[in-house]
Amino acid sequence: MIKVIYFLFFCTLFTCNAQHEQKSKKDQIIQEHVYDCADKINYYTNLNDYQKCLDEGIKKDATIAYLWQQKAMPYFKLKQYKTGMDFLDKAVRLDSNRYLSYRAFIKCIFVKDYNDAIVDFEQCIKEKGDSYEMDHSYSFYIGLSYLQLKDFFKAESYFEKTIFNQKKMFNEAHHLDLFYLGVTKYELGKYQEAVTIFDEALNQYPKFSDVIYYKALALNKINNDDFETSNLIEKAKEFASKGFTINEDNAIYEEYPYKVKW
């Protein structure tokens, strides 16, 4: 019995040491080829050199999902979506737990493949629950995808779900989630509900120009007051000129839906 216990202990210790050594080697490769090499290169001007850093790391260990994700990332920002997705698919195959939701985000915001984004996010919810990617819930992105597919009732359902959960957890909802729920209500002809939701978003972000613009449209549908509408639109235009618009990090690479073009 003692020999069996000793044998099991030895095997467990050996396995743990092997796993630690393997992880250590992967970390060393990431350090050398991402942090000490690729990250020091501007991929907008030297994409080939940036990719060479990562390719050298992949030669050492092609199973590191992070290297494939890092190869993919610049191509999305450069709007070379097909190339980027080929690399990102490899990252997902190697580590779907981390990169499936990231790929779904890319499909929704960058590639605008909304049907596929919904499939990926629904799989994420099935596996991990309604978690977050890039500061927003999976339900938010599903709602945004349905909004773009003009399935407004499904979009409304998902936006209401994520806002309910946010208020339950944080006592308030994100202003962007509220904006898109308000837009969805507007598209459904629920103009008073839209105004109420827009006001809630403005309580958090008072100069949110896109919200003010759509609030003006909704009020005009209710009151048919062109003077009030014009004043609000002028205010929205002024705030937009000062940069008070959708402030997501990735908005500098891709235009988010319903952003007002002045």
3-state secondary structure 97-145: HHHHHHHHHHHHHHHCCHHHHHHHHHHHHHHHCCCEECCEEHHHHHHHH
In a domain, 7, yes or no: yes
| Two tokens, residue 166 | 């946010």
The reported pLDDT for the residue numbered 10 is 47
The reported pLDDT for the residue numbered 100 is 98
> What does the mean pLDDT of the chain come to?
93
Question: Are residues 206 and 250 both part of a single domain?
Answer: yes
In a domain, 139, yes or no: yes
In a domain, 189, yes or no: yes
In a domain, 26, yes or no: yes
Only one residue has tokens 């060479």, namely: 52
pLDDT > 70? residue 82: yes
Q: Using the 8-state DSSP alphabet, how is residue 41 labeled?
A: S
Instruction: Select, from the ranges 14-28, 188-202, 222-236, the one with the highest average predicted confidence (pLDDT).
Output: 188-202
CATH number at residue 205: 1.25.40.10
Question: Are residues 55 and 112 both part of a single domain?
Answer: no
Structural domain including 202 reads 177-262
Question: Are residues 100 and 121 both part of a single domain?
Answer: yes
The reported pLDDT for the residue numbered 14 is 47
pLDDT interval class at 118 (50, 70, 90): very high
| Two tokens, residue 205 | 């972000």
pLDDT > 90? residue 63: yes
Question: Are residues 124 and 157 both part of a single domain?
Answer: yes
Residue where one domain finishes, among candidates 146, 173, 200? 173
Question: Are residues 59 and 114 both part of a single domain?
Answer: no
pLDDT interval class at 41 (50, 70, 90): very high
pLDDT interval class at 126 (50, 70, 90): very high
Residue where one domain finishes, among candidates 53, 70, 87? 70
The reported pLDDT for the residue numbered 186 is 98
pLDDT > 50? residue 3: yes
**DSSP percent split of the chain into helix, strand, coil, nearest 5:** 75, 0, 20
- Give pTM, 2 decimals: 0.89
Alpha-carbon gap, residue 175 to 244, rounded angstroms: 13
CATH number at residue 135: 1.25.40
Q: Using the 8-state DSSP alphabet, how is residue 182 labeled?
A: H
| Two tokens, residue 95 | 């580590």
Residue where one domain finishes, among candidates 118, 150, 173? 173
The reported pLDDT for the residue numbered 20 is 54
In a domain, 86, yes or no: no
Question: Could you tell me which residues come within 8 angstroms of residue 50 by beta carbon, excluding any fewer than 6 positions away?
Answer: 38, 41, 42, 43, 74
The reported pLDDT for the residue numbered 225 is 84
Q: How far apart, in Å, are the Cα atoms of 20 and each of 26, 34, 67, 86, 117?
A: 10, 20, 19, 30, 35
Alpha-carbon gap, residue 112 to 1, rounded angstroms: 61
Contact 258, 177 (CB under 8 A): no
In a domain, 237, yes or no: yes
In a domain, 75, yes or no: no
- What's the total number of domains in the chain? 3
pLDDT interval class at 17 (50, 70, 90): low
In a domain, 105, yes or no: yes
Question: Are residues 243 and 183 both part of a single domain?
Answer: yes
